[in-house]
């Protein structure tokens, strides 16, 4: 094992680690704000990657139907639950979905520059986050966290099934953002890997500024510290939930767009990726953002190096990482009854 | 595009169910496929192929009962039990996955129902046992394909090979078969790495392979997961020859691999290179008809997995007349006679090759069941 191999493995590990870190942050965010363990986080990754690859391959955008369906379901839900006509929010969402659906039909998707394709993908996937929150979690927002977990798992199952129906069982792969690579010493860094690492770092920085400097970010933080207290201060828990789900969808879709050129993704690939992000999130106790990001990055590195030495036991090694942290957590944290 | 494929299938399935209620008891065939879940890539073309199976043989209508096991071996067992106990089927086709098929053999054998397994692993028919004699396998055994590859390696003077395979029964069986064959052929097996089908990176495995400097690399993975190891090695500057198994024999392999899979050599049924095949080849006409019929119905070419189910239909069609002489459909005598008749299939040309079943060989392929194929200008081409 020479230095070149170490560098290549490090590059590989950091690239996956950067993606795991993003997903870990998003899982921590959603969990601390809504107490929902976001099992379907990976589906946003799949959707982002598949939409991007689908646009480049000239497939019709079946994902637009899902957005339309979700917007319709929310409006119908409002009609049923409140026994009144859907509110303006529902109409705006429905109008947005129809407009986007029409836009995706009209535009010559294949010929568009990659930036526009990426923006369209985000425009398509990100609204699904708040919509899913409204449909699945808002009505049971105050239920026991176990109930929320079960609903979350169910939602994951439904979305994977829809994913198979929309994208088929074949794998997909999209074009890299730029060709070539950067030569540092004996190793060529793939340009896409650099894109992934740079975009992740930027996004993590942006999230920091968002939580530290903006009113909405502070509101989210307040909700995660104390839900009741934040509500008394006039922060709507529904809004906080929608916002955190929106961010989760954004992070997921962006991760999907970033890794789609690196690897072949399938309709159910997202789950395993987000599961590794989850291992990172657990190292941070589902609370601390920096530890979660650090943990997720090391998951990527451990994965890469352990694959080199013992490819048969890779998954075993990666998921065993979670045990010492759980042990350490359960020994050092005081147990308290949940306040919900 | 995919919706277009699925809906006609659903409608056809719904239609088949409606008819099933009304029609009189004739020959009933149960089909279990994994049309959803992790191996849907295999199961979807298989489920779609049910609509193309023979509908009438020797004046007897054949009804098909198609179930989806969602790639779950437990669900395969309950589906098979339901088909045997409630629908009283005379024969079974499926399931799609190797572990799924291994799990249901016992129940098919206990009920005395012949079963066609369109799965990869030879373990469903080898070694032959009292239970496995009810199973017939409509895919080429791994060693038949492997032999063709090793012969080609020998002929091209390759002395060292590395293996990258999936960590599942498919990859494991290939590693086993290749270790034996390479040793016999005096070719060194330098490294043998595994990866998971859903892995997003195989850089580490590729680096380890690269460091061993093999003259050729064989990738044993089912479906489009066969692409990633090859493109990764290509990106890292590997210049040797690539071999693939029949698991990669899909048009998706070309689509996903692009220029990086140019020159790959694999052995598979001739279905990919029908155009290059001489008209004298017995499988040409049948395979061409299957591909055309499938394309007409679903708008896309079938993967080989679907053809494995189609062959099961052809075997059934050939065996039913003889079995009808011994008993009426729906009776144990008929099923036993059916099994007997399938076991005596001789020189039956189908889409995958020519079947010659014997009591010891329930797969029945010979060299006509495989072709050496290469990728030339982004298309499959027969290797001359």
List pLDDT tens digits, range B218-228.
999 888 889 99
- Which of B44, B201, B207 lies nearest to residue A169, judging by beta carbons? B44
Whether the per-residue pLDDT at B19 is higher than 50: the answer is no
Any chain B CB within 8 A of the CB of A124? no
Contact criterion met (CB < 8 Å) for A304 and B36: no
Q: Within a domain: residue A11?
A: yes
- Name chain A contacts of B3, Cβ cutoff 8 Å: 62, 165-166
Q: How many angstroms separate the first and last alpha carbons of chain B?
A: 35
Nearest CA of chain B to the CA of A208: how many Å? 28
Chain A residue with minimum CA distance to B70: A161
The CA distance from A125 to A100, in Å, is 11
- How far apart (Å, rounded) are the C-alpha atoms in residues B230 and B203? 10
> Is A86 contained in some domain?
yes
The pLDDT of residue A88: 80
Is residue B250 within 8 A of residue B304, CB to CB? The reply is: yes
CA distances from B226 to B38, B197, B230, B373 (A): 15, 8, 7, 16
Residue A35 lies inside a defined structural domain of this protein: yes
Nearest residue in B to A270, CA atom: B198
The superfamily CATH assigns to domain B142-268 is Response regulator (3.40.50.2300)
Low-confidence residues in chain A, pLDDT < 70: 1, 81-84, 180-181, 184-187, 334-340
Question: Is the minimum CB–CB distance between A311 and chain B shorter than 8 Å?
Answer: yes
Q: What is the pLDDT of residue B304?
A: 86
Please give the Cα distance from B220 to B243 (Å, whole number).
Answer: 9
For the segment B75-113, what is each residue's pLDDT rounded down to a tens digit?
999 999 999 999 999 999 989 888 899 999 999 999 999
The answer to whether residues B182 and A245 touch, using CB atoms and an 8 Å cutoff, is no
Contact A263 B228 (CB under 8 A): yes
Q: What is the 3-state secondary structure of chain B?
A: CHHHHHHHHHHHHHHHHHHHHHCCCCEEEEEEECCCCCCHHHHHHHHHHHHHCCCEECCEEEEEEEEECCCCHHHHHHHHHHHHHCCCCCEEECCCCHHHHHHHHHHHHHHCCCEEECCCCHHHCCCCCCCHHHEEECCCCHHHHHHHHHHHHHHCCCCEEEEEEECCHHHHHHHHHHHHHHHHCCCEEEEEEEECCCCCCCHHHHHHHHHCCCCEEEEECCHHHHHHHHHHHHHCCCCCEEEECHHHCCHHHHHHHHHHHCCCEEEECHHHHHHHCCCCCHHHHHHHHHHHHHHHHHCCCCCHHHHHHHHHHHHHHHHHHHHHCCCCCCCHHHHHHHHHHHHCCCCEECCCCEECCCCCCCCCCCHHHCEEEEEECCEEEECC
For chain B, give the number of residues: 384
The answer to whether the CB of B120 falls within 8 A of the CB of B98 is yes
pLDDT tens per residue, range B255-266: 888 889 999 999
Chain B residue numbers touching A16 (CB-CB < 8 A)? 200-201
B235/A304 CB distance under 8 A = no
- Which residues of B are less than 8 Å from A15 in CB distance? 201
| Chain B residues whose beta carbon lies within 8 Å of the beta carbon of residue A53 | none
Which residues from chain A sit within 8 angstroms of residue B167, using beta carbons?
311-312
Asked, for residue A293, whether it belongs to a domain, the answer is yes
> How far does the CA of residue A64 sit from the closest CA of chain B (Å)?
13
Determine, for residues B194 and A168 on separate chains, whether the beta-carbon distance falls below 8 Å.
Answer: no
* Shortest alpha-carbon distance between residue B3 and chain A (Å): 7
Contact (CB<8Å) B203/A167: no
Axis-axis angle for helices A237-259, A215-225 (nearest 10): 110
- Nearest Cα of chain B lies from the Cα of A111 at a distance, in angstroms, of 19
Do the chains contact at A262 and B196, CB–CB below 8 Å?
no
The ipTM estimated for the assembled molecules is 0.77
| Secondary structure class of A189 (helix, strand, coil) | strand
In order of B195, B268, B365, the CA distances from B163 in angstroms are 11, 18, 25
Is residue A337 situated within a structural domain?
Answer: no
**Contact pairs from chain A to chain B, CB under 8 Å:** 94
Nearest-CA distance A42 → chain B (Å): 13
Would you say B45 and B305 are in contact if contact means Cβ atoms under 8 Å apart? Answer: yes
Return the residue in B44, B201, B247 with the most chain A beta carbons within 10 A, the one to mutate for interface testing.
Answer: B201
- The pLDDT of residue A302 is 92
% of chain B surpassing 90 pLDDT:
49
Q: Is the pLDDT of residue B13 over 80?
A: no
User: What's the domain count of chain A?
Assistant: 1
Helices B169-184/B98-111 angle, 10° precision: 100
From-to residues of CATH 3.40.50.2300 in chain B:
2-140+284-369, 142-268
* B44 in Cβ contact with B50 (< 8 Å): no
Residue B342 has pLDDT above 90, yes or no: yes
In chain A, the residue whose alpha carbon lies closest to the alpha carbon of B205 is A308
- Please indicate whether, in this complex, the C-beta atoms of B38 and A161 are within 8 angstroms of each other: no
Neighbours of A157 (CB within 10 A): 11
User: A59 — contact with chain B (CB < 8 Å)?
Assistant: yes
- Per-residue CA distances from B158 to A15, A24, A312 (Å): 35, 46, 27
Predicted local distance difference test score (pLDDT) of residue B1:
45
Cβ-nearest to B198 among A59, A266, A305? A266
On chain B, the residues whose CB falls within 8 A of the CB of A168 are 1-2, 5, 44
Interfacial residues of B (vs A; Cβ cutoff 8 Å): 1-3, 5-6, 36, 38, 40-41, 43-44, 167, 193-196, 198-205, 207-208, 211, 223-225, 227-228, 235-236, 252, 256
The reported pLDDT for the residue numbered B17 is 47
Q: Which of A167, A170, A308 sits opposite B252 (nearest CB)?
A: A170
CATH H-level superfamily of B2-140+284-369: Response regulator (3.40.50.2300)
Gap from A201 CA to chain B (nearest CA, Å): 20
| Cβ contact, residue pair A164, B225, below 8 Å | no
**For residues B176-205, average pLDDT:** 90
Nearest-Cα distance to chain A for B92, in Å, is 24
| Mean pLDDT score, B142-154 | 91
- On chain B, the residues whose CB falls within 8 A of the CB of A265 are 200
State the average pLDDT over residues B320-326: 89
Cβ distance A308 to B228 less than 8 Å, yes or no, reads: no
Which among A16, A171, A267 is the nearest to B252, CB-wise? A171
Q: For residues B283 and A56, give the distance between their C-alpha atoms in angstroms, rounded to a whole number.
A: 37
Given a cut of 60, is residue B300 above it in pLDDT?
Answer: yes
Residue-averaged pLDDT of chain B: 87
Report d(CA A219, CA A207) in Å as an integer.
Answer: 14
CB contact under 8 A, A5 and B228: no
The predicted structure's pLDDT at residue B21: 42
Contact B225 A273 (CB under 8 A): no
Q: Does A166 touch chain B (CB under 8 A)?
A: yes
- Of the pLDDT bands very low, low, confident and very high (cuts 50, 70, 90), residue B22 is very low
φ and ψ at residue B131, rounded to 5 degrees: -80, -40
Assigned token pair, B379:
């298309």
Range of the domain at A222: 3-332
């Amino acid at each position: 094992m020479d230095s070149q191999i170490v560098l290549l493995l490090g590059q590989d590990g950091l690239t996956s680690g950067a993606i795991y870190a993003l997903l870990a942050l998003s899982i921590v965010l959603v969990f601390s704000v809504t107490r929902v363990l976001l099992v379907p986080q990976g589906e946003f990754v799949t959707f982002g990657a598949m939409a991007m690859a689908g646009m480049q391959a000239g497939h019709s955008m079946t994902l637009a139907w899902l957005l339309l369906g979700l917007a319709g379901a929310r409006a119908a839900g409002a009609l049923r639950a409140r026994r009144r006509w859907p509110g303006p929010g529902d109409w705006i969402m429905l109008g947005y979905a129809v407009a986007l659906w029409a836009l995706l039909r009209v535009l010559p998707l294949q010929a568009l520059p990659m930036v526009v394709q990426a923006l369209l993908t985000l425009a398509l996937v990100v609204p699904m986050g708040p919509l899913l929150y409204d449909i699945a979690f808002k009505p049971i927002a105050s239920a026991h966290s176990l109930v929320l977990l079960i609903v979350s798992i169910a939602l994951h199952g439904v979305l994977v099934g829809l994913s198979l129906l929309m994208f088929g069982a074949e794998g997909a792969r999209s074009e890299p953002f730029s060709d070539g690579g950067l030569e540092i010493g004996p190793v060529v860094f793939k340009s896409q890997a650099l894109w992934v690492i740079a975009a992740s770092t930027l996004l993590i920085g942006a999230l920091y500024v968002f939580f530290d400097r903006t009113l909405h970010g502070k509101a989210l933080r307040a909700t995660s510290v104390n839900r009741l207290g934040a509500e008394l201060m006039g922060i709507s828990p529904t809004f906080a939930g929608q916002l955190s789900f929106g961010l989760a969808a954004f992070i997921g879709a962006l991760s999907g767009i970033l890794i789609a050129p690196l690897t072949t993704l399938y309709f159910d690939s997202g789950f395993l990726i987000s599961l590794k992000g989850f291992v990172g999130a657990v190292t941070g106790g589902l609370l601390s953002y920096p530890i979660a990001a650090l943990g997720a990055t090391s998951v990527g590195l451990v994965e890469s190096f352990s694959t080199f030495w013992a490819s048969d036991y890779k998954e075993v090694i990666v998921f065993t990482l979670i045990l010492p942290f759980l042990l350490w957590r359960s020994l050092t944290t005081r147990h308290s009854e949940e306040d919900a | 595009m995919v919706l277009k494929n699925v809906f006609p299938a659903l409608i056809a399935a719904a239609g088949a169910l409606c008819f099933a209620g009304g029609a009189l008891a004739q020959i009933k065939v149960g089909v279990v496929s994994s049309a959803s879940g992790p191996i849907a890539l295999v199961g979807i073309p298989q489920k779609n192929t049910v609509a193309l199976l023979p509908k009438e043989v020797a004046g007897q209508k054949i009804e098909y009962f198609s179930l989806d096991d969602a790639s779950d071996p437990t669900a395969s067992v309950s589906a098979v039990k339901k088909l045997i106990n409630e629908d009283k089927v005379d024969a079974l086709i499926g399931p799609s996955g190797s572990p799924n098929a291994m799990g249901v053999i016992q129940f098919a054998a206990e009920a005395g129902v012949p079963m066609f397994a369109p799965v990869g692993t030879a373990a469903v028919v080898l070694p032959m046992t009292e239970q496995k004699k009810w199973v017939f396998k409509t895919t080429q055994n791994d060693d038949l394909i492997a032999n063709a590859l090793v012969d080609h390696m020998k002929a091209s003077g390759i002395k060292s090979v590395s293996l990258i395979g999936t960590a599942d029964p498919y990859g494991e069986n290939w590693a086993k078969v290749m270790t034996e064959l390479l040793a016999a052929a005096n070719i060194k097996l330098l490294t043998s790495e595994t990866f998971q089908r859903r892995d997003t990176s195989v850089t580490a495995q590729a680096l380890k392979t690269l460091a061993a400097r093999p003259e050729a690399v064989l990738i044993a993975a089912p479906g489009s997961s066969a692409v990633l190891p090859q493109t990764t090695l290509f990106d890292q500057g590997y210049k040797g020859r690539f071999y693939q198994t029949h698991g990669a024999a899909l048009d998706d392999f070309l689509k996903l691999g692009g220029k990086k899979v140019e020159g790959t050599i694999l052995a598979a049924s001739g279905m990919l290179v029908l155009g290059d095949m001489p008209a004298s080849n017995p499988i040409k006409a049948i395979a061409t008809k299957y591909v055309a019929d499938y394309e007409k119905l679903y708008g896309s070419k079938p993967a080989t997995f679907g053809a494995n189910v189609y062959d099961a239909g052809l075997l059934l069609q050939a065996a039913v007349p003889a079995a009808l002489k011994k008993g009426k459909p729906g009776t144990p005598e008929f099923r036993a006679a059916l099994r007997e008749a399938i076991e005596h299939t001789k020189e039956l040309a189908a889409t995958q090759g020519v079947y010659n079943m014997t009591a010891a060989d329930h797969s029945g392929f010979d060299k006509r069941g495989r072709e050496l194929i290469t990728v030339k200008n982004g298309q499959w081409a027969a290797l001359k």
